[in-house]
Amino acid sequence: MANGAKDKNTHAAPELDEAQAAHPTHDPGHGPPPEPGFWRKYVFSTDHKVIGIQYGITALLFLLIGFCLVMLMRWQLAYPGEALPLIGKLFGEANMPDGVMQPEFYNQLGAMHGTIMVFLGIVPLAVGAFGNYVVPLQIGAPDMAFPKLNMASYWVYFLGGVVMLASFFVPAGAAKAGWTSYPPLADIETMGQTMWLIGMLFLITSSLLGAVNFLTTIIQLRAPGMTFMRMPFFVWAQFVTAFLLLLAFPPLEAAAIFQLMDRLAGTSFFLPSGLVVSGEVLDVAGGGSPLLWQHLFWFLAHPEVYVLILPAMGIVAEIIANNTRKPLWGYKALVYSVIFLGFMSFIVWAHHMFITGMGTTISAFFQVTTMIISIPSVVILSALFISLWGGSIRFTTPMLFALGFLPMFGIGGLTGLPLGLAPTDIHLHDTYYVIGHFHYVVAPGTIIALFAGIYYWFPKITGRKMNDRLGKIHFWGTILFMNGIFFPMFIQGMAGVSRRLYDGGQVYQIAEPVIHYNEFMSICAWLLALAQIPFIINFFMSLKKGEKVEANVWKATTLEWSAAPSPPVAHGNFPKLPTVHRGPYEYSVPGHDRDYLPQDEAPTVAVER
């Protein structure tokens, strides 16, 4: 075996052996066609890498905006009715007279926080940015299957974001009916809700275009030898995610069209007969059903939570395999679980509707499916945990974040079980417990994993590494304060404190023993903001001054590292399209002097698979 490796060196056949990898900046001879101008290169680019970066930057900005909205809300929750010092007056007389937040404004912030975080922050970052940048590289494709469509989906997403932000400035402000937009309230809302619906139609269109593109790319553009069972788990996660987006979003589109009709054409899809608004019976045809909206909405929104979490799991899987220097434990089990999970996620939606009185039989059905869907999640998480067993773990910054993800997502997932069973959910529904649950999944869960991804692939994109010390400060600050924010929500929720309360629950006696947590949670939220400063500094500093590293800085096996320079070739990614010879995680294979075998390295001995 040892002389097998030597043998390979003398042949120097693969395009990217160690020697060449050390000089990633040297262009590989035959240059691409004449460089396009600035606009075509950076703004209206069709290169999946540029589009991925555009998605990434836009989504990070939206995450920041969504976070700022909630920091304002946290002031009101911690100190109800008190004037917000310094910046309070900036928000205008209508929203914050003398710096005191109005209930209408609180509702705008709440609805837009949820919408922005989910649809404009996390999904575009997890799918639009990481998916776009990494998937074609990991499967050995020169680009996405439909580059122009790819550009279109970014710009439609961007427009959707603009419409959403603009809605703050229409008369009576942005949408106030929550990110769930339940009618009948949403039907009779002010103009901001119409803007919300139009914005959503843009975002849905963008997701659909993206999903078609991802699926076609993964099915059609895999490099020679890249069979489905040799795809990195991250690609699998994106594959299933794209299916969810493709099939779950259209029913919400239908619902949004119905709601637009209700608002603009005076129909009553969601308005029951005899609805009384402000003491008067509403003058509409009636006969509609608010539950219809809930069904259509959750038919999307449950799969959507897997859209939020699956790419995160994919990222974590990549990083764990790479940093334990071991194959992922149970790769096949992971793949089958993620497929099963994707399938099941379409038949659990009504667990969000246990209190709508849908009857015990239907309720039983959705309880059972919900318990079943937790099995593949547990399989995935367990496989990732077991992967750590006996590994010689490298505690790099991405690995820290990936490790943080595991217990945090665990808390989020376990606290979901009582919500999936009607007897317990009836007590917990619409309390802060729910808010705590999904934030654990999505903030210390998904967001932590997305950070892990940023630290992990930053050298791929820029050729430079991010600073480790700042990265570690960022990690500990983030994990600490996120728990500080979200853990007390469980306690408040179990005590019975409702969500969406403008005063944080002050007027309710049941809230009295737990209301003091509000101030603590708010302070943690503001400290969490401070904890992001090292990240922001690190990000920009590393762009210019970060340590320059070789192409395969993490000594990884997957194609994006082993076959492409960092950053990859502008058009086509690879100097020469790779051929794949083995599975994605051949780490520490016995009998080799290196502890990793890249997927594209030509086998030296016939028996090697």
Binding site for ligand HEM (CB under 6 A): 67, 70, 73-74, 110-111, 113-114, 117-118, 122, 178-180, 435, 439, 442-443, 447, 485, 499-501, 525, 528
φ, ψ of residue 550 to 5 degrees: the values are -70, 170
**Residue 255 binding another protein, by CB under 8 A:** yes
Choose among another protein, Cu ion, ligand HEM, none what residue 179 binds, the Cβ cut-off being 5 to 8 Å by kind: ligand HEM
**Which C-beta is closer to ligand HEM: that of 126 or that of 403?**
126
Please name which of 441, 416, 432 lies closest in space to residue 492, comparing C-alpha atoms.
Answer: 432
Residues 84, 272: Cα–Cα separation, whole Å: 40
Please name which of 364, 349, 369, 368 lies closest in space to residue 294, comparing C-alpha atoms.
Answer: 349
Burial class (CB in 10 A: 0-12, 13-18, 19+), 17: middle
Q: Closest distance between ligand HEM and the C-beta of residue 307, in Å?
A: 11
Tokens of 579: 């051929």
Give the number of C-alpha atoms closer than 13 A to the C-alpha of residue 532, restricted to the C-beta side: 15
Choose among ligand HEM, another protein, Cu ion, none what residue 277 binds, the Cβ cut-off being 5 to 8 Å by kind: none
**Which C-beta is closer to ligand HEM: that of 111 or that of 373?**
111
Q: Which parts of 270-421 fold into alpha helices (H)? A: 290-324, 331-344, 360-388, 397-420
Residues 147-206 that bind another protein (CB under 8 A): 147, 149
- β-partners of residue 464 are 548
**Residue 292 binding another protein, by CB under 8 A:** yes
Residues 135, 140: Cα–Cα separation, whole Å: 8
Residues 365, 350: Cα–Cα separation, whole Å: 9
Choose among ligand HEM, Cu ion, another protein, none what residue 494 binds, the Cβ cut-off being 5 to 8 Å by kind: none
Residues 422, 409: Cα–Cα separation, whole Å: 22
Instruction: Identify each DSSP E strand in 58-107 by its residue range.
Output: none
**Residue 301 binding another protein, by CB under 8 A:** no
**Which C-beta is closer to another protein: that of 215 or that of 473?**
215
**Which C-beta is closer to another protein: that of 281 or that of 285?**
285
Q: Closest distance between another protein and the C-beta of residue 114, in Å?
A: 22
**Residue 429 binding Cu ion, by CB under 5 A:** no
From candidates 15, 143, 586, 601, binder to another protein by CB under 8 A: 143
Evaluate whether 260 touches 278 at the Cβ level (below 8 Å). no
Residues in contact with another protein, counted by CB under 8 A, come to a total of 48
From candidates 284, 307, 312, 350, binder to another protein by CB under 8 A: 284
Q: Closest distance between another protein and the C-beta of residue 262, in Å?
A: 8
Query: Taking the chain, what is the end-to-end CA distance rounded to the nearest angstrom?
Result: 14
Evaluate whether 452 touches 478 at the Cβ level (below 8 Å). no
Q: Closest distance between another protein and the C-beta of residue 431, in Å?
A: 29
Q: Closest distance between ligand HEM and the C-beta of residue 115, in Å?
A: 8
x/- map, 284-313, Cu ion, by CB under 5 A: ------------------x-----------
User: What angle is formed at CA 330 by the lines to CA 328 and CA 335, rounded to 5 degrees?
Assistant: 95
Evaluate whether 590 touches 221 at the Cβ level (below 8 Å). no
Q: What residue number has its CB nearest to Cu ion?
A: 302
Q: What is the CA radius of gyration of the chain?
A: 25
Choose among ligand HEM, another protein, Cu ion, none what residue 113 binds, the Cβ cut-off being 5 to 8 Å by kind: ligand HEM
Q: Closest distance between Cu ion and the C-beta of residue 349, in Å?
A: 6
Residues 391, 394: Cα–Cα separation, whole Å: 9
**Which C-beta is closer to ligand HEM: that of 13 or that of 68?**
68
Tokens of 548: 């320059």
**Residue 135 binding another protein, by CB under 8 A:** no
Please name which of 296, 333, 101 lies closest in space to residue 197, comparing C-alpha atoms.
Answer: 296
Choose among ligand HEM, Cu ion, another protein, none what residue 73 binds, the Cβ cut-off being 5 to 8 Å by kind: ligand HEM
Choose among ligand HEM, another protein, Cu ion, none what residue 435 binds, the Cβ cut-off being 5 to 8 Å by kind: ligand HEM
Evaluate whether 196 touches 115 at the Cβ level (below 8 Å). yes
The single-letter code of the amino acid at 480 is L
Q: Closest distance between ligand HEM and the C-beta of residue 234, in Å?
A: 20
Evaluate whether 520 touches 484 at the Cβ level (below 8 Å). yes
x/- map, 545-574, another protein, by CB under 8 A: --------------------------xxxx
Choose among Cu ion, ligand HEM, another protein, none what residue 439 binds, the Cβ cut-off being 5 to 8 Å by kind: ligand HEM
Q: Closest distance between ligand HEM and the C-beta of residue 444, in Å?
A: 9
Residues 254, 556: Cα–Cα separation, whole Å: 44
User: What angle is formed at CA 52 by the lines to CA 311 and CA 156, rounded to 5 degrees?
Assistant: 95
x/- map, 235-254, another protein, by CB under 8 A: -----------xxxxxxxxx
Q: Closest distance between Cu ion and the C-beta of residue 160, in Å?
A: 23
Residues 50, 59: Cα–Cα separation, whole Å: 14
**Binding region for another protein (CB under 8 A):** 141-143, 145-147, 149, 208, 211-213, 215-216, 219-221, 246-255, 257-258, 261, 265-269, 284-285, 287-289, 292, 295-296, 299, 571-574, 577
**Binding region for Cu ion (CB under 5 A):** 302
